[in-house]
Amino acid sequence: MPVSPNDLALFRAWPALRERLPRRRFVDEPTPVEPFRLEGLPPGRFFVKRDDRCCRLYGGNKPRKLEFILGHALERGAERVVTTGAFGSHHALATSVLARSAGLKTSLVLVPEPLSDEVACTLALDAAHGAELVYAGSVARAGLATAALLSRSFLGGEAPYLIPTGGTSAHGIIGFVSAALELAEQVEAGILPAPAEIWVPVGSGGTVAGLVLGLQLAGLCTRVRGVLVTDILPPSPRRLARLANECLALLRGLAPEIPAASVEPKQFRLDPSELGPGYGVSTPAAAAALEAAAAGDLQLETTYSAKCLAGLMAANRSGELPHGPVLFWNTHNAIELSPSRRCDASPRGVVLAHRRVRGASPSRSGRSGAPSNEALECPEESVSKT
């Protein structure tokens, strides 16, 4: 089966889906797979899937999910999307960028995390890309604020569309079902041997759920190892299996020729050992993994991707890696955002962002004082954010 950049692996496998499954195309496929030298692993055994540059607007794992989520939103006539995340949420920023390109308004309900330079920069970029920012002090308050936003939008005559945290839904994970089929095509084409194991970071879990289902449909006997990076409502294997099966039911409803299958909780191996003090907090192991990746000209960050690589490196040192090829799925965004969308990541900018966030006091409706777009100008260096 030839690999074509002009179509989707999922559509090549089941052409009926091409006309039946709404998609707003963002991803340039297939994303490359490259060998990578990692200390302790012999040459030819370690590979990287380069989703970090999967989309011209924003890289990483989010565009694969948002292709189908925003496609579904547009099909339903949505005018505004509402989603949730932490202050520095990569999903929230990707939604701000990609929804705007699709002509949709965006509202973000955000909960606290440690306010690093990177997080302050993300908040500024959210606003610079036109998102409405609503701050909530806890996950429970975020739920109330989200309900209030959806109600306000509907009563105001808009058609709102709710995107779950991380884009993790039956529609969202379709992108990674297709990604697994794409990988199978690359294996068939001889670009890499069939991996014995794939390593991927796990936040809301949509990426790993889609991969497990897609690999099963592709007939690849590849295990997926997820490195848990969040302690904020972390997903369980049971929940991920249920999500994968919901996605399969959705796809088979559109294309009954897709084989029947069943994803089981035991197929999800979640490693919590690299979480450290909690979500968004770097660890010495993540910092070391960041340096190891940079030595090979691979950009990572310490919230997600570097913690995943740290887990892989620890498994290699302890002899827990399989003897066959290992694939690291790079979910980081390595695309520089437009120079016109800059943020202030200087110490002064961080202090200003911190004051805005600390000063936010949600009302009963959940609305709070979001950072204004003024004072969000960046120094002239470009910004890369995952």
Distances (CA, A) of 55 to 11, 29, 236: 19, 9, 29
* Phi (first) and psi of residue 213, to 5 degrees: -65, -45
Residue 227 has pLDDT above 50, yes or no: yes
Q: Is 245 helix (H, G, I), strand (E, B) or coil?
A: helix
160-163 vs 197-202, strand pairing mode = unpaired
Q: How far is CA 105 from CA 71, 126, 127, 153, 321, in A?
A: 14, 12, 12, 11, 45
Q: What is the pLDDT of residue 268?
A: 98
Q: Is the pLDDT of residue 370 over 80?
A: no
Distance CA 299, CA 278 (A): 22
Which domains does the chain show, CATH number per domain?
9-61+169-329 (3.40.50.1100), 63-167 (3.40.50.1100)
Q: How many CA atoms lie within 13 A of 353 on its CB side?
A: 31
The pLDDT value recorded for residue 121 is 84
Distance CA(131)–CA(158), nearest Å, equals: 16
Q: Which residue has the higher pLDDT, 373 or 65?
A: 65
Q: How confident is the model at residue 322 (pLDDT cuts 50, 70, 90)?
A: very high
CB 90 within 8 A of CB 334: no
Q: What is the mean pLDDT of the chain?
A: 87
Contacts of 176 (CB under 8 A, 6+ apart): 61, 64, 65, 206, 207, 209, 210, 211, 214
The continuous run of DSSP H or E covering 211 comes out as: helix 206-218
**What does the pLDDT average to over 198-205?**
97
Q: How far apart are CA 158 and CA 152, in angstroms?
A: 9
pLDDT score at 371: 36
Per-residue pLDDT tens for 93-121?
999 999 999 999 999 999 998 888 788 88
Residue 300: name the closest of 285, 319, 315 by CA.
285
Query: Tens digits of per-residue pLDDT, 155-189?
Result: 999 999 999 999 999 999 999 999 999 999 999 99
**Is the pTM value of this prediction over 0.85?**
yes
